Amino acid sequence: MNIQKTNKVAWHFNHSYTKLPKDFFVEQLPVKVSNPKLILLNEPLLKTLGLDKEALSPDAWGNIFSGNTLPEKAKPIAEAYAGHQFGHFALLGDGRAVLLGEHINPEGNHFDIQFKGSGQTPYSRRGDGRAALGPMLREFIISEAMNALKIPTTRSLAVVTTGESVMRDEALPGAILTRVAKSHIRVGTFQFASTLNDINKLKALADYTIDRHYPECKAKDNPYLAFLNAVIERQALLISQWMHVGFIHGVMNTDNMSISGETIDYGPCAFMDRYHPETVFSSIDRQGRYAYSNQPPIAQWNLARFAETLIPLIDHNADKSIELASQSVNNFSGQFQTAWLKGMRQKLGLFNEEASDIELINELLVLMQKNKADYTLIFRHLSSDAILKDAIFKDVSFKVWYKNWLHCLHKQKEGEETSRLKMLKHNPAVIPRNYLVEKALSLAVADQDYKFLNDLIAALLKPYEDSKVFSEPPIEEDKSYKTFCGT
C-alpha cells in the first residue's frame, strides 16, 4: 500500500522499541480509510508535543490522524503481548492499533503515538481492527478528565471519523483515536516474553523498560528486584488515586496494566455516582471481578503475575527469587493503604495523622453507603455549609460523625478554614458523570452535534470549579447502567 508522508509538522520520531527482538512486534501500516474527518483535536497536548496546529489545515490533520498520511519518519508497528483476561490467559497483541513511534518533544520527553482503530493486524484474532466513534470519544473524555485530576494516564490527542461503518450489534460510525503514552509496555508484554522461554529476550525487554522508565534501578544491587518494587509502588499510588475519585476501570486485565504506571485502555470504565463498594458498570464483568472495591486486590494479583515473569532475572536461585518477589508483591497492600489513607485525609482536610483517622474515614463510607450518598458531592459539600442541606444530614448517625470530624479539624493548628481550602483542592466538583457522558456521546454519534461534548470536556478540564450544568448528580439513579468495551 502506498501511503503519503508529510514533513510540514515537526515530528521527531525515535524507534527504540524496534531494537528489541522481532518477537515483540510486527511492522504494520494503518489501513487507509475512505473519508477521514477531524472531530476532536487536543490543542494543549499538541503544544506539549511541540506541534503547531496552524501548520496544517483540519483536513490535513484528519488525514494524518486517520493514518492516510503518515508523518515523516514514522515506522508503524503493532506490539505483541499476552494477558490474563478475567483470570484466563491468552496470547494477544495490538489487534486494532499501530504505534507510529516515540515522538520526542522539545523538552526531550518521549511519547508513544498510537492509532487505535486503524485496521487489522496479525494480532486481530478475527476482529475487524476498527473502532466505533462512541468508545473513542469516551476514551478522549475520560482520559483527559483523569489528566485534569492529576491521575497518571494515557492521553488522547485526536479523534477522526473514518467515513465508514463498523459492525457491532448494529452498524456504527467508525473512528480512530490517537493515543499518547509514556509507553505501551504492559504486564502482558512481560507475560508474552515469558512464553518465549528465552531468558535473553526476557532480559532484553526488562533492560529496555528499566532504561526507559526506571533508570534509577540500574544502580541498585539487584536491578530487577528494584524494578519490580518500583512498578508496585507506582501501581499502589495509581489505584489509590482511582479510589479517591470513585473511578472504576472495568477491565483490569493484566494486558491493561501499564508498566509506566499510567491508566490505560478506557473501555467499560465509569465514575460512581452513589457510593457502593460493589459497584460494577462493565457489561462483561458479570461476577464483579473488577468492582470498585476489588480494584486494589486485583492490582496486587496482576502484579503477582508480573513478578512471576521476573523470577529468572531476580536471582539465579529460583527459590530465593520467588521468596524475594513474593515479599515485594505482599508489600503492595501496605503501600496502597498508606497512599489511600494520605489521599483520604486530604479529602477530609486532615493535616494531623491520627490512628483514629482510619475509623473516621470508614465510618463515613458506611454512612454514605447506607444513605446512598453521592460519592463526589458528599466530600465536596463537606468543605462548606452545603453539607447541612444534604439528605445525609437527616441521619442522626451522620450528625454524630460530623461533630466528631469537626472536632478533629478544630484540634489542628492550621484551623478549620485552611482545612476547607485544602478539601476544595482535593475534592472535584466536576467528574465525567455517566448521564453526561452518555448525552454527549448520543448527540455526537446520532446527530453529529459536538457542542455538548466540547462543553463537557471544557468543564472536565477544570474539575475543581463548580459548574451549574456539570456538577449536578443524576436526578434518578440508573441501576441498570452498563458500559461496553467497544471491540
The pLDDT tens digits for 128-173 are: 999 999 999 999 999 999 999 999 999 999 999 999 999 988 999 9
- The answer to whether residue 413 is domain-embedded is yes
Within this chain, do residues 215 and 175 fall inside the same structural domain, yes or no?
no
User: CA 467 → CA 218, 242, 361, 385, 456, distances in Å?
Assistant: 47, 22, 27, 17, 10
207 and 306 within one domain: yes
Alpha helices in 149-290 (DSSP H): 187-195, 199-213, 223-245
Q: Which residues of 422-439 are buried (b: 16+ CB within 10 A; e: fewer)?
A: bbbebbbbbbbbbbbbbe
Residue ending a domain, among 153, 184, 215, is 184
Cα–Cα distance for residue pair 144/153, rounded to 1 Å: 8
* Residue where one domain finishes, among candidates 151, 184, 217: 184
pLDDT digits (tens, 9 = 90+) for 321-345: 999 999 999 999 999 999 999 999 9
C-alpha pair distances (Å), 207 with each of 102, 202, 217, 332, 422: 18, 9, 10, 23, 41
Do 323 and 304 share a structural domain? yes
Q: What is the DSSP letter of 23?
A: G
Mean pLDDT of the chain, nearest integer: 95
In this structure, the answer to whether residues 253 and 386 fall within a common structural domain is yes
Are the C-beta atoms of 116 and 162 separated by less than 8 Å?
A: no
Report yes or no: 246 and 275 within 8 Å, Cβ to Cβ.
yes
Q: Residue 9 has what pLDDT?
A: 75
Residue-wise pLDDT tens digits, 3-12: 545 557 789 9
115 and 211 share one domain: no
Residue 361 lies in a domain: yes
- The count of structural domains within the chain is 2
Q: Which domain covers residue 273, as residue numbers? A: 186-429+471-487
Cα-to-chain-centroid distance, residue 300:
17
In DSSP terms, 104 is beta-bridged to 110
Cβ atoms of residues 288 and 282 within 8 Å? no
In this structure, the answer to whether residues 103 and 228 fall within a common structural domain is: no
Pair 157, 230 in one domain: no
**Are 394 and 485 members of one domain?**
yes
Question: Are residues 157 and 113 in contact, defined by beta-carbon separation less than 8 angstroms?
Answer: yes
57 and 173 both lie in a single domain:
yes
List, for residues 210-223, the tens digit of each pLDDT value: 999 999 999 999 99
**Domain co-membership, 231 together with 171:** no
Share of the chain above pLDDT 70, in %: 96
Instruction: Examine the domain organization and report whether 172 and 193 are in the same domain.
Output: no
Q: Is 395 a catalytic residue?
A: no
Q: Which of 94, 255, 265, 273 does the annotation list as catalytic?
A: 255
Alpha-carbon gap, residue 319 to 435, rounded angstroms: 52
Which of 139, 155, 184 represents a domain boundary (last residue)?
184
Q: What is the DSSP letter of 255?
A: G
